[in-house]
């Protein structure tokens, strides 16, 4: 019976050691799982932050792109409206009543000594200009106005309606834009 007692004692010690090893293994497994869960939670949090930042950056880019496209469209509309205003200006110039046209032409010629200059005009204004300028130079392809040139060609003043309107329109572009678009 002594042998049975020794075997039982060895088995009990072995069971105790196995239980201790199982408990230590369970503790180690629990510790490893806990660390793994912590790392997974940190990685998840970091990835969520990265994704959130990426989404915010994408939203900012999309909003910026949409704003840029809106500005571009707005500028194109402004450009089209300004072009229409310019076209209307030229249309109004071509439809000037005869008396206003003659008054404007006389006013344009007033500051110049026409005895020393050649004066050119459109075909429709030829009769008036040739009666006002002793040196009528001929016809121009223009809506109206005149070109005054010294006889030697060293001085030339382009006072055609097209040139004057273009200069006024270009120099007033900022003011016209402000009035039209605020």
Same domain, 63 and 104: no
- Token look-up 């206003």 returns 100
The total number of structural domains in the chain stands at 2
Residues 130 and 86 grouped into a single domain? no
DSSP element (H, E) containing 149: strand 145-150
* Percent over 90 (pLDDT), the chain: 46
Same domain, 63 and 6: yes
Do 2 and 75 share a domain, yes or no? yes
Residues 30 and 111 both lie in one domain: no
Tokens representing 181 are 């678009």
CA distance 24 to 8: 24
11 and 63 inside one domain:
yes
- CA 92 from chain centre, in angstroms, equals 32
- Alpha-carbon distance values, 164 to 15, 79, 121, 143, 175 (Å): 112, 21, 14, 11, 17
The DSSP H or E segment spanning 153 is none
The residue assigned the tokens 């239980």 is 19
Same domain? 103 vs 90: no
Q: Mean pLDDT throughout 139-153? A: 91
Confidence class of residue 51 from pLDDT cuts 50, 70 and 90? very high
Please tell me which residue, 14 or 57, carries the higher pLDDT value.
57
136-140 sheet: strands from edge to edge: 136-140, 117-122, 145-150, 156-160
The string of pLDDT tens digits covering residues 57-80 is: 999 999 999 999 999 998 898 888
Whether 84 and 120 share a structural domain: no
Average pLDDT over residues 72-100: 87
Mean per-residue pLDDT, 9-32:
86
Statement: residue 1 has pLDDT above 60: no
Once rounded to an integer, what is the mean pLDDT over residues 95-99?
A: 91
Q: Which 3 state secondary structure label does DSSP give 110?
A: coil
Residue range 22-26: average pLDDT? 86
Q: Write down how long the chain is.
A: 182
Band of residue 112 on the pLDDT scale cut at 50, 70, 90: confident
Looking at 95, 120, 136, which one is the last position of a domain? 95
**91/101 same-domain check:** no
**Segments forming the whole domain that contains residue 15:** 1-95
**Both structure tokens of 159:** 């006072």
């Amino acid at each position: 019976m002594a042998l049975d007692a020794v075997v039982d004692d060895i088995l009990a010690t072995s069971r105790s050691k196995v239980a201790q090893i199982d408990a230590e293994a369970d503790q180690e497994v629990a510790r490893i799982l806990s660390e793994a869960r912590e790392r997974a939670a940190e990685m998840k949090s970091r990835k969520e932050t990265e994704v959130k930042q990426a989404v915010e950056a994408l939203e900012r880019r999309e909003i910026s792109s949409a704003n840029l496209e809106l500005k571009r469209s707005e500028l194109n509309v402004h450009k089209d409206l300004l072009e229409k205003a310019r076209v209307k200006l030229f249309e109004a110039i071509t439809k000037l009543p005869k008396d206003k046209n003659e008054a404007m032409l006389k006013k344009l010629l007033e500051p110049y000594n026409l005895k020393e200059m050649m004066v050119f005009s459109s075909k429709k204004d030829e009769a008036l200009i040739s009666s006002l300028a002793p040196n009528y130079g001929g016809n121009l392809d223009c809506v109206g106005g005149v070109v005054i040139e010294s006889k030697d060609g060293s001085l030339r003043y382009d006072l055609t309606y097209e040139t004057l309107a273009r200069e006024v329109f270009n120099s007033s572009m900022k003011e016209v834009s402000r009035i039209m678009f605020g």
